[in-house]
Structure 1
Amino acid sequence: MAQAMKIAIVDDEQDMRQSISQWLALSGYDTETFGSAEDALKKLGPDYPGIVISDIKMPGMDGMQFLKKLMGNDSALPVIMITGHGDVPMAVEAMRVGAFDFLEKPFNPDRMNELAKKATLARRLTMDNRALRRELSDGGQLMKKLIGQSPVMERLREDILDLGQADGHVLIDGETGTGKTLVAHALHAVGSRAGKKFVLVSCGALEEEALSKRLFGPMLPEDTQLPAVEEARGGTLVLEDIEALSETLQARLLNVINEQGTPAETRIVAISNLQEAGRTSEDALRSDLFYRLAALRITVPPLRQRGEDILTLFTRLSEQFADEYGCEAPQVSAQEAAQLLQAPWPGNVRQLINVAERAVLQSRRGSGTIASLLMSDHDEMQPVMTTEGKPLKEYVEAFERMLIDNTMRRHKGSVASVMDELCLPRRTLNEKMAKYGLQRSDYL
């Protein structure tokens, strides 16, 4: 569940700051008070997880000086200024400097609550975006998102680490929903261009004229964004749905590549997402462009080839959704585990995410089955099975691994608790954990 946002209240009048604090605390906010701007600045850093409500007129450092200091540290920090009656010009100046809004004394508490709600929502969005940017620039964190111990996932991670260190252009292909854009982020984050520009353009989302301008310009006086080939200079330019480029735009892209020389100033990562049966990116692109982009190539495996990774992913996803919705994650039976392993997963990981979320929601209501969710994604006359069968031993081992993994996670690595719940002697549990690559330290 999301943690309550903080509200820092800064006012030299003790009664005023306590009154504001009590009122906001009743509305569920986590408040902290400061008697001076100087004291507040010791605590309010660039990533302060909340907002600030400050009086303008204070001894020592006044509210305007305080606001300028805060904006210098973090220009996205929402600051609500409290002004005296008739100080509207000062409030307008505060807004110009960067204040989120202002309250005029005597103020309506409901109005304060309304502003606090808007400001905290804005702050949460800023903090979430910053966390996402940090995550997308952290190669280690991105590689952890590529979950799985199947041979195809081990190979994928090795390919990312190898090609990330290379400097040529890359073509990423694979079925829809397999995580090709995540792979592109990981390639950038583990390579020598990490920390430089990462620019992503969805070629299939724009009409040709708009796409041409987004990629190559020209810039108009009112434009605030550089063309993508300029914006990404020195970094990585990712082109999703590369097959959507017209012949004309393919020729322009080829010219850009040829003008760069070797090594390339800007690395291009092309993502192919062809859906037509029997058609490939090689068919869709002019041959000279294809061979320039496909000098290095990664094919992201479909979910149905990832074996028991499916159960690992389902468990992680259902735990995340259960935490988000404030309920328990559904327990998967042996029959349901087999159904998850046998499903064809045409939508791949994206489909698995949807199924995990719906499983959590129906579990919270106390109704429904995983089989019904899988059937709802397909024609009811079609069996929820892959065309390739698996030996019974593989299904049993996959379920056993999931059960031990889930139980260790639930008991936070307590071997005694896991032994008790699963009725296993210590030696047997240790042998099975070693067999399935599970380590107690991962659960502590």
Structure 2
Amino acid sequence: MAQAMKIAIVDDEQDMRQSISQWLALSGYDTETFGSAEDALKTLGPEYPGIVISDIKMPGMDGMQFLKKLMGSDSALPVIMITGHGDVPMAVEAMRVGAFDFLEKPFNPDRMSELAKKATNARRLVMDNRALRRELSDGGQLMKKLIGQSPVMERLREDILDLGQADGHVLINGETGTGKTLVAHALHAVGSRAGKKFVLVSCGALEEDMLSKRLFGPMLPEDAQLPAIEEARGGTLVLEDVEALSETLQARLLSVINEQGTPAETRIVAISNLQEAGRTSEDVLRNDLFYRLAALRITVPPLRQRGEDILTLFTRLSEQFSEEYGCDTPQVSAQEAAQLLQAPWPGNVRQLINVAERAVLQSRRGSGTIASLLMSDHEEMQPVMTTEGKPLKEYVEAFERMLINNTMRRHKGSISSVMDELCLPRRTLNEKMAKYGLQRSDYL
């Protein structure tokens, strides 16, 4: 869900504060007012979830001093300055210091609303990016994203924790859409380099000349960033689609690796995403580079091998999309659960995300089935055909666990409500929860 944005209004004139606040409140904004810059600074800081509208002429700390304080605390905080007639030079100086924009009195309220909208959108993007960076530096949060109790996922999490503590380069293999980049983030976040730079370069997205400059330089004077090799020094450099490196760039990369020695100053995590059947990164990379990059290896399992995790993931994704679109989470029937478990999932988790979102949207419209979504992705797939034959008992147990889990979540752990909805006696429900590893405390 998008974070609600606030607007802090700072002006020593009460009437002006109130009129701005009332107008913006009518436009749907959450406002708070301050009679002085000193009072506002007690509330405003780097994590303030909103923007600032401030008069430029105030007793005590004036608007320019206030702006400099705010920019020193958080240069990405949008500040809209209100200036008097004839104060345009001062407004220009405010823009140089870092103001988002300015309004000249008497100003058009619609113009103020327009600026507020632009500024809050910019602030929301900054806050979202910061939250994402925090999440991607938090090993615990990242490991939680690797959902699933299947043996292959248990093994993947163990591999990440083990290799995260090691210092060698890592090669990550896996089909498209399995979450290889997430695994790379997790490797960095759980290891000793967690506080250092994490730099990701998509080798397949750049032409050779651009890729060469991005990796090794020289960068042009107007370029804001260092070459990736320099930028990632001491941290982790992730190379997506490493097989896209030309022979020349492979040689340069090998030279850099050899110069670093052991232990490596910069850890390289290479991600292989080969599409051709029967080909591997070993086939396309020169041998000496391959064996340096593949000192440690992780293979991310395809979704079709994760069994009941498919239903767990689908439920979690459906709940997230339902919250986003403001509608009820679609209920999955036994037949649909079997179809989800039986599908071949060539697009893996990325495909499952798309199916979950479309299932929520079509449920909101009151039409469509999960089977139709799966078949629209792969017309040759029959609704009840499976690529891996499994006993009926496994499908029944997977559906039963999903049903109890969903009902417990919906009723926030109320045993009596779950018993009533599923028509189960207390003892039977307890036995099934124990069998499937479900604990009431997880739903409270």
* 1:291-370 paired onto structure 2 within 5 Å: 291-370=291-370
Give 4+ residue runs of structure 1 displaced > 6 Å after superposition. none
Alpha-carbon offset, residue 2 of structure 1: 2.7
CA RMSD of aligned residues (A): 1.1
Report the secondary structure of 1:7's partner residue. Answer: strand
* 1:75-224 paired onto structure 2 within 5 Å: 75-224=75-224
1:13·1:35 contact (CA, 8 Å) conserved in 2?
Answer: yes
State the partner residue of 1:436. 436
Alpha-carbon offset, residue 414 of structure 1: 1.8
Alpha-carbon offset, residue 224 of structure 1: 2.1
Report the secondary structure of 1:70's partner residue. Answer: helix
Percent identical pairs in the alignment equals 95
Number of residue pairs matched by the alignment: 444
CA 1:384–1:334: 2 relative to 1, 3 Å: closer
1:241·1:271 contact (CA, 8 Å) conserved in 2?
Answer: yes
Report the secondary structure of 2:363's partner residue. Answer: helix
Which TM-score applies when normalising by structure 1?
0.98
Report the secondary structure of 1:122's partner residue. Answer: helix
Q: Does 1:244 align with 2:244?
A: yes
Alpha-carbon offset, residue 222 of structure 1: 2.5
Report the secondary structure of 1:276's partner residue. Answer: coil
State the partner residue of 2:27. 27
Which TM-score applies when normalising by structure 2?
0.98
1:344·1:384 contact (CA, 8 Å) conserved in 2?
Answer: no
Relative to structure 2, which stretch is displaced further, 218-227 or 194-203? 218-227
Residues 101-150 of structure 1: CA deviation (Å, up to 9, x unaligned): 01111110000000000000000000000000000000000000000000
Q: Tell me the distance in 2 between the aligned counterparts of 1:383 and 1:275.
A: 26
Alpha-carbon offset, residue 275 of structure 1: 0.6
Residues 255-275 of structure 1: CA deviation (Å, up to 9, x unaligned): 111111110000000000001
Relative to structure 2, which stretch is displaced further, 251-260 or 217-226? 217-226
Alpha-carbon offset, residue 387 of structure 1: 2.1
1:411·1:417 contact (CA, 8 Å) conserved in 2?
Answer: yes
Alpha-carbon offset, residue 428 of structure 1: 2.0
Residues 140-186 of structure 1: CA deviation (Å, up to 9, x unaligned): 00000000000000000000000000000000001000000000000
1:237·1:268 contact (CA, 8 Å) conserved in 2?
Answer: yes
Relative to structure 2, which stretch is displaced further, 181-190 or 62-71? 62-71
Q: Tell me the distance in 2 between the aligned counterparts of 1:144 and 1:154.
A: 12
Residues 69-91 of structure 1: CA deviation (Å, up to 9, x unaligned): 11111110001111111110111
Q: Tell me the distance in 2 between the aligned counterparts of 1:45 and 1:385.
A: 57
State the partner residue of 1:381. 381
Residues 366-414 of structure 1: CA deviation (Å, up to 9, x unaligned): 1000000000001246566332111111101111111111111111222
CA 1:440–1:382: 2 relative to 1, 3 Å: closer
2:375·2:381 contact (CA, 8 Å) conserved in 1?
Answer: no
Unaligned runs of 5+ in 2: none
Alpha-carbon offset, residue 49 of structure 1: 0.5
Q: Tell me the distance in 2 between the aligned counterparts of 1:43 and 1:411.
A: 38
Alpha-carbon offset, residue 438 of structure 1: 1.6
Alpha-carbon offset, residue 442 of structure 1: 1.9
CA 1:98–1:110: 2 relative to 1, 3 Å: same
Q: Tell me the distance in 2 between the aligned counterparts of 1:142 and 1:357.
A: 22
Relative to structure 2, which stretch is displaced further, 299-308 or 432-441? 432-441
Report the secondary structure of 2:297's partner residue. Answer: strand
Alpha-carbon offset, residue 223 of structure 1: 2.5
Alpha-carbon offset, residue 193 of structure 1: 0.3
Alpha-carbon offset, residue 15 of structure 1: 0.8
Report the secondary structure of 2:321's partner residue. Answer: helix
2:11·2:58 contact (CA, 8 Å) conserved in 1?
Answer: yes
2:4·2:49 contact (CA, 8 Å) conserved in 1?
Answer: no
Residues 344-386 of structure 1: CA deviation (Å, up to 9, x unaligned): 0000000000000000110111100000000000124656633
1:374·1:384 contact (CA, 8 Å) conserved in 2?
Answer: no
State the partner residue of 2:63. 63
2:3·2:124 contact (CA, 8 Å) conserved in 1?
Answer: no
State the partner residue of 1:51. 51
1:344·1:385 contact (CA, 8 Å) conserved in 2?
Answer: no
Report the secondary structure of 1:413's partner residue. Answer: coil
CA 1:381–1:141: 2 relative to 1, 3 Å: closer
Report the secondary structure of 2:154's partner residue. Answer: helix
Alpha-carbon offset, residue 439 of structure 1: 2.0
